[in-house]
Amino acid sequence: MISGVQIWWVSISSIAVLNIGLWILSARLFNRRRSNLPIQLSNYAGRRWILGLSAVYTLGCAFRSVVPRVDLERLCLVDSWVSSILVGRSVATIAELCFIAQCAILLHEAGKGQQDRLAVNVAVLLVPIVVIAEFCSWYAALSTNYLGSVIEESLWMISGCLLIASFATLWRRAGGRQRRFLEVVIMFAVGYVIFMATVDVPMHVTRWQADILTGQAYLTLGAGLKDAAQNCLVAFDWRSWREEIPWMTLYFTAAVWLSIALAHAPGFRSNEVLISK
């Protein structure tokens, strides 16, 4: 019989293919609009970077959709070396750094265009915060200590809060299409922070506390590196995946769609032709 996990796996794998198609359409639309513009845009190079970073993030999420895994429990759905924690965590790190770099580039552009110091300063902070989060993620994946995951997800939540504050200050000075765009991303960011605060971070805290109560022995980083390079345990039972499916589904769908859309955000300089016009 087909399990619920298998249905979910086929669904997110199919969406991964769709997402790649959406990115290709996005790139064609971007280039078509660019070729029709009569003047040079000062933010064009930044938007090209956002588009390229989106390609890496989209492909990274597609890979993780096809070969999903649960890092600390060493679970996966494909019995192959590509499902190892070492490979999967490496792909995730690259993709997540690309996504936050997209946010930082766009926020810096908007802050400069609107002369908003908060937005500019937050743009500078975003990547370093997530770099620290990625180190914590690697520590958790290698040692199997959920404390690393608690810190990692908390840092991502803080990044979301900083983005909300920055977008809110930009919204007050924006108008027209800029405001509509900012309202959408603020709603997305608020939903993300609420999910992290009520579901994701508490989940990792609960697991960390359970390990403390049971006296869980953690791996050294050296032993964890060797273990992370091995094939994971294949498991299709719902109990093993039920807490992972909600965040993975949102991660591989809504987050990818946002990443693809960022290159088409309205410009934030009143004296420029907009790339998304």
| pLDDT tens string 183-213 | 999 999 999 999 999 999 999 999 999 999 9
What is this structure's pTM?
0.92
Question: What is the average pLDDT value for the chain, to the nearest integer?
Answer: 92
Give the CA-trace dihedral at 164, 169, 175, 176, to 10 degrees: 0
Rounded Cα distance between 267 and 244, Å, is 37
The percentage of the chain sitting over the pLDDT mark of 70, rounded to a whole number, equals: 94
Distance of alpha carbon 123 from alpha carbon 134, whole angstroms: 18
**231: which 2 tokens?**
């094939």
| The CATH number fitting domain 4-264, selected from 3.10.129, 1.10.287, 3.40.50, 1.20.1070 | 1.20.1070
Q: What is the mean pLDDT of residues 135-151?
A: 97
Angle (CA) 98-101-103 rounded to 5° is 115
Q: How many other CB atoms are there within 10 angstroms of residue 222's CB atom?
A: 9
What is the per-residue pLDDT across 232-266, written as a single tens digit (0 to 9) for each?
A: 999 999 999 999 999 999 999 999 999 999 999 98
Q: What are the strands of the beta sheet with 69-70, ordered from one edge?
A: 69-70, 75-76, 233-234
Q: pLDDT tens digits for 50-98?
A: 999 999 999 999 999 999 999 999 999 999 999 999 999 999 999 999 9
Distance (Å, whole) CA 174 – CA 154: 30
The dihedral through the CA atoms of 101, 116, 163, 28 has a sign that is negative
- What is the C-alpha R_g of the chain? 20
Gap between the Cα atoms of 169 and 118, Å rounded: 8
